[in-house]
Amino acid sequence: MSSTGSYWYYSNIMERTLILDCNKKINEKVKICGFVQVRRDHGKIGFLDIMDRSGLIQVFCKGELLGDLHPQDVVCITGTVNKRPENLVNKNIPTGEIEISAEEIEILSKAAELPFDMGGKDLNLQLPTLLDFRSLTLRHPKVKAIFKVQEAILKGFRKAAEDLGCTEIVVPTIVAGATEGGAEVFKLEYFEHKAYLSQSPQLYKQMLVPVFERVFTVAKAYRAEPSVTTRHLTEATQLDIEVGFIEFEELLEILEGVAVKMLKTVEEECGEVLSEFGVEKIAFGSPREAGKIPRLTLREAQEVIFKEFGRDNRKEKDLTPQDEVDLCKWSLEKHGSDFMTITHFPTKAKPFYTMPDPKDPEYSLSYDLLFRGVEVLSGSQRINDYQQLVDSIKNRGMNPDSFEMYLQAFKFGMPPEGGFSFGLERVTMHVLNLANIREASLFPRDMERVDVRLSQSSKVKSQK
Ligand code: AMO
């Protein structure tokens, strides 16, 4: 078709108006397209709430137009935008002063009858049902909002990483060895060889330090977590940064700076969602300390736990989940901060690439960032000397041959370097105070579920 012909063709079709833009089209005829959220019948007339990506609007319909329309039907509605009478204004939605009077309804797709009511402000479902019907429940405005917050976290992270001068990289997830510990690795049938699913982008981000000096990545990480908890997934998303020519104190400054920038972006972009979820404003540190995040070594933190909370964990190699909760409580009360940085974990408890503290090699130049009662980040300064790294791999009973490509990067010159990784779902969960990490993943994977419940899918298979 000629360009003139195609123009003629399209000019006869009424253009779609986004629902939010209807506010600017009072008394005009519009065509909106979206999903039926709610249908309310009142004798011979009725109302539909229609939602598109911009918002929700009430549509007034004569009975015959309503037919058998029901929630999640996909429709295009042509009608006139009218101002609502003063007493019928709905202050809770941005289109609350208007409604559309429908003249024509075109059905683009009929939805099957819904297994539960999706029309309420909250979707009151048990977690298994919420996940069994994930592609449907994600459409609910309050569930969808979680992932707008997640998007803002990603945006804030990317912005902070770019401000640091990091290059964004994309790294493999099929790898030759375990990086974070042997037990939690998924083995892969890789032709006639052995391979693994990556537990972290760790080795690749380090290999790219001599290339770009500063890098960041958003990567999938796989952990064969053998237990079901509220804060572990088998497939998590890690937000990683790795920086060359750097010392320990600078790393702490950088990670805390990125955390603050990332979450300030969330507050700026998603203020409405945060108030809808009824969560407190994020505490970035008391004004007295100019937004400083309190820092303690692991042993100092365990002293706080002992003195303030009466539990003697002073010889443990890590914090317990309850310690993390209590330290954050302490940090908020004493320092006005939802964050807390814990440093110097025992070297033996950390992965092979972690730099021991030269002043006391039993402890390492490592750190965790706690946020609202849970570890959301960990990282360290790295061993950058080739021979020390080979020895560290051997000391942990691993074979340096499995790390051939990684070690090459150190053999040919590696500056002092370090980095860290945030767990995206953990941050999302605690920004919104969600009860379970699965709510913070679009399609969560755990021991019992890969989209569908594994017990169910094996039952279906055995029935076939
Ligand atoms: P770590 O293993 O501590 O460190 O992981 C970093 C962050 O990722 C998140 N996370 C998880 N989230 C959900 N489910 C899981 N199973 C899971 N495992 C980890 C957490 C955690 O703080 N390579 C190092 C990082 C580094 O040193 O740069 C690493 O992976 O929020």
Cα(423) to ligand 1 centroid in Å equals 6
Angle 4-9-13 from CA coordinates, rounded to 5°: 140
What is the dihedral angle through the alpha carbons of 410, 412, 417, 420, rounded to the nearest 10 degrees? -50
Nearest to 256 by CA among 295, 301, 293: 293
Question: Is 300 one of the annotated active-site residues of the chain?
Answer: no
Helix axes 386-395, 404-411, angle to 10 degrees: 150
Q: Of residues 223, 372, 382, 449, which has the active-site annotation? A: 223
Q: Of residues 372, 426, 430, 438, which has the active-site annotation? A: 426
Rounded alpha-carbon distances, angstroms, from residue 73 to 106, 138, 163: 10, 16, 44
Question: Is 39 one of the annotated active-site residues of the chain?
Answer: no
Cα(172)–Cα(418) distance, integer angstroms: 20
Rounded alpha-carbon distances, angstroms, from residue 416 to 203, 217, 241, 354, 385: 15, 20, 15, 12, 9
Question: Is 225 one of the annotated active-site residues of the chain?
Answer: yes
Q: Ligand 1, from 365, 374, 378: best to mutate by most atoms within 8 Å of Cβ?
A: 378
Cα(123) to ligand 1 centroid in Å equals 30
Torsions phi, psi for 160 (to 5 deg): -65, -40
Burial 80-115 (b: 16+ CB within 10 A, else e): bbeeeeeeeeeeeebbbebbbebeebeeeeeeeeee
Counted residue by residue, the chain has a size of 464
Q: What is the pLDDT of residue 449?
A: 94
Q: Ligand 1, from 184, 232, 238: best to mutate by most atoms within 8 Å of Cβ?
A: 238
Question: Is 299 one of the annotated active-site residues of the chain?
Answer: no
Q: What is the pLDDT of residues 191-217, one digit of tens each?
A: 999 899 999 999 999 999 999 999 999
Q: What is the pLDDT of residue 291?
A: 59
Cα(331)–Cα(295) distance, integer angstroms: 10
Cβ–Cβ contacts within 10 Å for residue 68, how many? 8
Cα(238) to ligand 1 centroid in Å equals 7
Pocket of ligand 1 (CB under 6 A): 180, 200, 202, 223, 225, 232-233, 236, 238, 240, 375-380, 419-421, 423, 425-426
Cα(421) to ligand 1 centroid in Å equals 6
Q: Of residues 99, 235, 375, 417, which has the active-site annotation? A: 375
Listed as ranges, residues in the chain with pLDDT below 70 are 1-12, 179, 181-182, 286-291, 457-464
Q: What is the pLDDT of residue 288?
A: 52
Rounded alpha-carbon distances, angstroms, from residue 120 to 125, 141, 191, 197: 11, 10, 50, 40
Cα(212) to ligand 1 centroid in Å equals 23
Cα(81)–Cα(61) distance, integer angstroms: 13
Q: What is the pLDDT of residues 125-153, one digit of tens each?
A: 999 999 999 999 999 999 999 999 999 99
Give alpha helix (H) positions in 225-377. Answer: 248-269, 271-276, 298-309, 321-335
Atom of ligand 1 nearest to the CA of 366: 27
How big, in percent rounded to 5, are the helix, strand and coil portions of the chain? 35, 30, 35
Nearest to 423 by CA among 259, 251, 313: 259
AA identity, residue 289: E
Domains and CATH numbers, the chain: 10-109 (2.40.50.140), 128-163+234-463 (3.30.930.10)
Question: Is 231 one of the annotated active-site residues of the chain?
Answer: yes
